[in-house]
Amino acid sequence: KADARPPDLQDQLARMQPPPAPVNLGPPGVPPPGPGFAAGPPGPPTNQASMHVPPMPPNLSNEDQQKFQQIYGTTPQAAKAQREKFGLTGILEVVRMHDPHLNTLALGVDLTALGQMNFPDAFHLNAGIELPPSRREPDYNLPQSYFSSPPALKQSHVSKFSGETLFYMFYNMPKENHQALAAQELYKKGWKYQKAEKLWYLEHQPQVGEPRWYVWDPNTWERKDAR
């Protein structure tokens, strides 16, 4: 079912942008200025057909019809008002103070209209002055566990860690005491460190057959056969 409501005027005006009005070099019948004046060729006549004015949508209110006429200048009065909007005649609209939005934009806001401001706390006395930073400590309470230092890690603690935890300490704590403790425990468990490849190898000697070597892969984080 088609919508019987009239189309929105603002949507149509947004889609239909009129081209700029042609430049009028002078009144009709007057030849263009001679050499020495910066003037271009005479433009096309300023009529409704040359401006591609869309037809007025039906079922518009009187206010919407006036807006349409003011935007496209379909009447002589609207075309004249559009030409004089930004000239000396347009200042009369500001002086007469008919449009409250235009008055706020051009004249600003009257402070006396904001209410009673004669009391001393109306304005900040230090406004615009850079104040020194406050040296007062913030109000917060630290828990007692914040002040307690954790116990130092010992070799007896490291001996209880699994192999995966030891490899994590070795690869993620470089140049720390934890890395040295993890390396010592890995050597005790039979692992050999290869400096060139930076990998740990483990030799497994079965009861029957040749010995097998395993390597710990830090990329996949698992033990693999060294082949």
pLDDT of residue 136: 72
Q: Is the pLDDT at 158 greater than 60, yes or no?
A: yes
pLDDT band at 187 (very low <50, low <70, confident <90, very high): very high
Q: Is the pLDDT at 102 greater than 60, yes or no?
A: yes
- The overall average pLDDT reported for the chain is 75
Closest by Cα among 72, 107, 110, 73 to 93: 107
In this structure, what token pair is assigned to residue 127? 């406004």
- Provide the percentage of residues in the chain whose pLDDT is more than 90: 23
Q: What is the pLDDT of residues 25-40, one digit of tens each?
A: 455 555 555 544 444 4
- For residue 82, give the 3-state DSSP assignment: helix
Closest by Cα among 203, 201, 165, 204 to 181: 165
User: Can you tell me the distance from the alpha carbon of 55 to that of 116, in angstroms, rounded to the nearest whole number?
Assistant: 53
- For the purposes of burial, counting CB atoms within 10 Å of the CB of 180, is it exposed (0-12), middle (13-18) or buried (19 or more)? middle
pLDDT of residue 154: 83
Q: What is the pLDDT of residues 51-77, one digit of tens each?
A: 567 888 888 888 888 778 777 777 777
pLDDT band at 165 (very low <50, low <70, confident <90, very high): very high
pLDDT band at 16 (very low <50, low <70, confident <90, very high): low
pLDDT of residue 119: 63
